[in-house]
Structure 1
Amino acid sequence: MTQKEVEQLIEEFKVPKHVRRHCGAVAAVAGELAKKIQASGEKVDIDLVLHSAALHDLVRVVDFKSFEPEVWDDLVTDEEIEFWKNLRKKYAGRHHADVAAEILRARGFPEEAQIVEQHKFIQIKKGFDSLEAKIVYYADKRVRHDEIVSIAERLEDGRKRNAPETIGTAHAAELEKKVLELEQELLG
């Protein structure tokens, strides 16, 4: 995959500007971490990390809990809104990571697909297939919207927006502990 192909996919799927900013920030965090890990002697495919991070929320609109593009800070066109509504209808009930992975596999990008598929929060329980997947997962858990924050801040925000029913549960605490363990593993 090339950077041009990444950009073409982002344009084709009309990724909202705020999601693009988030993905850009995640890619920046992931890229820096990948370079540090590589400098310590581990083999890391930095381009794979960067491309996967840039595309991890390619079709995030499919499972937005609240879909109100008219209140987003960025101007959107009627064409974009119609496109997103059609995506939401086509992939109703599916997680955006699974849909994006399916699209990437169909386009001939299986490595990126696997990493994108593994950025779901629950993946921390299942483990990862590669160091690159760990890096992208972790970077996503450090970026709230387009701001780099602590793991605790990001997870609290994610629970409030996506799973308020899990706040304060033992399950949520277990997952947060695993994310912090991953942070220790990656940062040393």
Structure 2
Amino acid sequence: MNIPSKKECFKLIKKMTMMDHIIDHSIMVSNVALFLSLKLKKHSPDLDSRLATSAALLHDITKTRSFDTKENHSETGGLMLIKLGYPEVGDIIRQHVILDSYEDNSRVSVEEIVNYSDKRILHDKVVSLNKRLEYIEVRYGASKEFKNRIQTMWKNTLELENKIFCQLDIKPNQLSACVSKKIKKEDWI
């Protein structure tokens, strides 16, 4: 499996001229993904923390340009990483908005960790799932189609939160206290 290093991730972020606030968001998503993947290793020893961290850092790699192009940034970001030789990372990025499937009785996957981690970060802060999803609803829920997608995503993400935290010794509201800014963009750019 080919996984870009943190340094390679930040080179790509710089090349794509990502907006600073999207970089800050991606760093915090990566910090949450790292924390969760390390904590969940006890129950899912095959979890790859490097894969989770890299995919989380790059999950919004095409988001800045999507403001102009109106492209689906999860799809185009996933395709970009696949074309760059990182198919596993690309598949995770493709699923960071909506997972291909939601299975309650399977082990927690890296795709689920990155998807969930993204849902817990509002800008660059760890927030409750409700606060983040309310923001998504206000920001993206203009059309009936998007409102329906958001409601489905909300339900699925609440179930995913239960799946993740039933295996941990902390509650969802304690996540913020457990995650710090371990990676700073100044260290890499």
* TM score, norm. by length of structure 2: 0.76
Contact persistence 2:24–2:123 (CA under 8 A): yes
- TM-superposed deviation, 1:171: 5.7
Say whether 1:110 aligns with 2:87.
yes
Moved more, 110-119 or 127-136: 127-136
Moved more, 169-178 or 102-111: 169-178
Contact persistence 2:9–2:54 (CA under 8 A): yes
CA RMSD, Structure 1 to Structure 2 (Å): 2.3
Q: Which residue of 2 aligns with 1:96?
A: 73
Say whether 1:127 aligns with 2:105.
no
CA distances 1:128-154 after superposition (whole Å, capped 9, x unpaired): 697000000000000011111111110
Say whether 1:187 aligns with 2:165.
yes
Letter in 2 for 1:151: L
Cα distance in structure 2, aligned partners of 1:96 and 1:131: 21
Q: Which residue of 1 aligns with 2:40?
A: 37
> SS at the partner of 2:41?
helix
Cα distance in structure 1, aligned partners of 2:24 and 2:101: 27
Letter in 2 for 1:134: E
Counterparts in 2 of 1:117 and 1:172: CA distance versus 1, 3 Å? closer
Counterparts in 2 of 1:43 and 1:154: CA distance versus 1, 3 Å? same
* TM score, norm. by length of structure 1: 0.77
Counterparts in 2 of 1:99 and 1:175: CA distance versus 1, 3 Å? closer
- TM-superposed deviation, 1:41: 4.7
Cα distance in structure 2, aligned partners of 1:59 and 1:10: 9
Q: Which residue of 1 aligns with 2:29?
A: 26
Letter in 2 for 1:112: V
Aligned residues with identical type, % of pairs: 28
Q: Which residue of 2 aligns with 1:161?
A: 139
Cα distance in structure 2, aligned partners of 1:144 and 1:51: 19
Equivalent position to 1:51, from 30, 49, 54: 54
Contact persistence 1:29–1:139 (CA under 8 A): yes
Q: Which runs of 5+ in 2 are unaligned?
A: 167-189
Cα distance in structure 2, aligned partners of 1:41 and 1:131: 8
CA distances 1:20-77 after superposition (whole Å, capped 9, x unpaired): 000001001111000100134532100000000000001112333xxxxxxxxxxxxx
Cα distance in structure 1, aligned partners of 2:144 and 2:134: 10
Q: Which residue of 1 aligns with 2:63?
A: 60
Counterparts in 2 of 1:98 and 1:170: CA distance versus 1, 3 Å? closer
CA distances 1:116-137 after superposition (whole Å, capped 9, x unpaired): 00012xx24x416970000000
Q: Which has the higher helix share?
A: 1
Equivalent position to 1:147, from 125, 131, 135: 125
> SS at the partner of 2:60?
coil
